[in-house]
Structure 1
Amino acid sequence: MGAKMSKAVDAEGREISLSDAENKCYIAPLRCVHCSTELSFTGQYLRQLGDDTVTVSACFKLKRGNVHKTDCPFDLTEKVTIVARESSPAVLSKNESGKYELRLLAVKEAIFGLRDIENKESKSNNPESRPKVGKEYVKSKKQLSSYLSTARQVLKIRAQCEDNREVEDNLELVFNGNRVHWKDFYFMDQDYFRCYTNLQRATINIPIAIQGLVRSTKVVPGKYGERAVLNLISPYRETDDPKVIDTVNISIWSSNLSSFDKFKYKDSIIIFGFWKAGKIDEREGASEKTKGKVYRNRQISMSLLTNSQICPEKS
């Protein structure tokens, strides 16, 4: 199990960057800069995502059949161990089978707990008029924040993997005593349609993570005042009718108008929390290119309870 890497060494011991590899300025084989296990290189390429063309970054990764040494910082098992060492066992610890276990119920309680604390703190702009808080209050906020910090670190580890199989061998997900499969917790853009179906059928509301690229951020008026909204770039899916295209639109809403200020077009982010599947609506294409086509939109949305639910992939 290994993370994607941005550097390698070649047969002559020279450090090779992604740019060097793209230009074939190295002598094979490529190896890990820390443990010397053999690597392969995947070059940068473009892919179509809905109306957008997005760039998939180049990377070095383990060559098939190779593994990192257990103390290598690029070994994902080691990464999980380090996170667990710095985390509360209430949210991340080893289970009886020897695997690490992220407890999603603790994550849920932390999200709502921090929401309540932040609401109390924001009731007044005047610090003197805010309710006084004691050591237990501060301790509670620090503890809840640490739970969400652990969740974000786990999500970043998952983002470094090509698929769920690389992480689920060493890190399990549990909600209220029941195991949750990674495919039902972590969704990339190719999973959005399945995510929508899962949300429609769900009988238990658990926190899930959606990874994607930012399409837009804006502030919009509403019944109870202005709200900020962040939209992700959405995939399309062809149907039996050439004039009908299925889409999934994902939006995150916040009463904090500055929640999304630091994000720009095509930034890669992960947002975890409690999502809702809305009704399917239809609209006709508005541009010259899409005129005559009908888009069937599946709406997935979430109200952000605390900014700690946002996890930029690079930070």
Structure 2
Amino acid sequence: MGSKIPEAKLVSGKKTTALNYEKKPFGDVFCCSPGCDAQLSFVKRHDRRYAKKTIEIAPCFRLKKNEDHDLSCRYNIGGQLKIIAKDSESEVFSAISNSKYEFRLHILIKALWELKNSNIETKGKGWGGSGEQNKQYSNKGKLSNYLKTLRQVLELRALCEDNQELKKLVTLKLKSKKVTWENFYFDHENLERFVQVHGADDFTMPLAISGRINEIRSPNEKFNFHVVELNSPFIEPDENGIVRKPVPQIVLKNSSLLKHIDIEKEYIFFGQWKARLRERNGRGSSSTRKWIFENIEMYIDHKDHLIEC
């Protein structure tokens, strides 16, 4: 698996788009970036299934198995990470060694909380607990410094069909604790693993969840805030008839945030999350199915906690 590539080169040297190749899929195709002749494969149009709807994914090209892009190729993810790391104006990219790229999470904490350096380590020790410290500091402040670099990473994420390359290259580090990209960044592909990895009923470290919006619920008598609910992935029942359904929900403590959210678009939300589990039996007296709703919630009051994909 590899980068999602919209255009390729035919044996004749002529360029073709994935949409045109779909109409006439004939002959080998190669990377059309200057200086790169890596052979590509064609990915057909396919459906991505969510819990409540199915979205069609357009065709594309990707690197063929056992092939490698030229080191200078724009689709060489490792090379692009190296360029971004060297060119980054922030401190977030800090280590370039043996193809391992690390984010320093304490830099993100500083941007999140806007605390002095002397406070960061003390406050950081309380992450993941259930005390008042988490409630006081979770998801406050501005994240502009973080998002400036995150946008650069998103340029790479957009090229990756399933993030396999980024999962191998990027690690996030908070003091002595490290978390891999796949356990930091969640979307429809790996969201079902969120509770398994990070547990429930406690605040997480800063994590990112990406998704399309399913609905935006208005305040009511029981709850005073707007709630943005993302689409849940489609989950099959296990051998015991249990369906564990992850439901990402972003609670807007400030209603003015609604003007920054378009229900038709896809976003990445970043901050500290807390999962709550709720069980429900299937409908009908003969139903043996059981639902476990994994409500993954985050409260935010600033627009820098979200970015449009």
- TM-score of Structure 1 vs Structure 2, range by shorter chain: 0.7 to 0.9
**2:111 is matched with which residue?**
110
**Counterpart AA for 1:59:** C
**Counterpart AA for 1:15:** K
Distance 1:293 1:220, change over 3 A: farther
Instruction: Tell me, yes or no, if the aligned pair for 1:232 and 1:251 is still in contact at 8 Å.
Output: no
Q: Identity over aligned residues, as a percent?
A: 26
**2:29 is matched with which residue?**
29
**1:11 is matched with which residue?**
11
**1:256 is matched with which residue?**
254
**1:296 is matched with which residue?**
292
> Which range is displaced more, 217-226 or 74-83?
217-226
Deviations 1:38-67 (A, max 9, x none): 211101111432232222332211111222
Instruction: Tell me, yes or no, if the aligned pair for 2:49 and 2:55 is still in contact at 8 Å.
Output: yes
**Number of residue pairs the alignment of both structures matches:** 280
**Counterpart AA for 2:28:** A
CA distance in 2, matches of 1:4, 1:98: 21
**2:69 is matched with which residue?**
68
CA distance in 1, matches of 2:253, 2:6: 38
Distance 1:215 1:43, change over 3 A: same
1:203-218 equivalences in 2 (<5 Å): 205-218=204-217
Q: RMSD of the TM alignment (CA)?
A: 3.2
**Counterpart AA for 1:276:** K
1:281-292 equivalences in 2 (<5 Å): 281-282=279-280
Report deviation, 1:299.
0.9
Paired residue secondary structure (1:195) = helix
Deviations 1:20-39 (A, max 9, x none): 12112554233334323221
4+ residue runs over 3 A deviation: 95-99, 162-165, 201-205, 221-226, 239-242, 258-262, 283-286, 291-295
Distance 1:85 1:306, change over 3 A: farther
Deviations 1:69-89 (A, max 9, x none): 222222212322333234245
CA distance in 1, matches of 2:221, 2:46: 40
1:1-315 equivalences in 2 (<5 Å): 3-24=3-24, 27-34=27-34, 35-95=36-96, 97=98, 99-113=100-114, 145-200=144-199, 205-221=204-220, 225-240=224-239, 242=241, 245-261=243-259, 262-265=261-264, 267-282=265-280, 295-313=291-309
Report deviation, 1:301.
0.9
**Counterpart AA for 1:248:** P
Paired residue secondary structure (2:218) = strand
Report deviation, 1:275.
0.9
TM-score for both structures, normalised by structure 2? 0.76
**Counterpart AA for 1:215:** N
CA distance in 2, matches of 1:111, 1:279: 27
Instruction: Tell me, yes or no, if the aligned pair for 1:214 and 1:232 is still in contact at 8 Å.
Output: yes
**Counterpart AA for 2:77:** L
Report deviation, 1:302.
1.0
